[in-house]
Amino acid sequence: MPTDRPTAAELVEAVREFLTDHVGPNVEGQLAFHARVAANALAIVERTLAEGGAMDQAEAERLRDLLGRDGDLEELNRDLSRRIRAGEAIGDGGALLEHLRRTVQDKVQLANPRYLTPRD
């Protein structure tokens, strides 16, 4: 049941913390590497559970505005891809660029938000 505790997000967090706090520091080599990879994968799942739905919704809304039609996210992305491949004009170009920039930024935010932090 979705209202039961622990929630899916809490379970994922608990496993990630276990890998990070208890497994990782106590193993070496390939096992330590795989523990870090697994913990990072779970962190992506956590961010996706927390933010992914809103990001998908915002992307679909941008696509509806850009393409001037309704549809679900998958259909709209297929249509956008088809139009780009066909060389069709999509708005003034600036709106398309802004949509693509925002979509990539959201995907990076889920995959590894540290990549969005400027470095000195």
What is the chain's pLDDT, residue by residue, as a tens digit (120 residues)? 567 899 999 999 999 999 999 999 999 999 999 999 999 999 999 999 999 999 999 999 999 999 999 999 999 999 999 999 999 988 888 999 999 999 999 999 999 999 999 887
User: Do the domain assignments include residue 3?
Assistant: no
User: Do the domain assignments include residue 1?
Assistant: no
Give the residue numbers spanning the domain of 48. Answer: 8-116
6: preceding bond cis by omega (within 30 degrees): yes
User: Do the domain assignments include residue 2?
Assistant: no
Residue 1 has a pLDDT of 59
Quick one: which of 70, 6, 68, 15 has its CA closest to 38? 15
User: Do the domain assignments include residue 80?
Assistant: yes
- Tally the domains of the chain: 1
Neighbours of 43 (CB within 10 A): 19
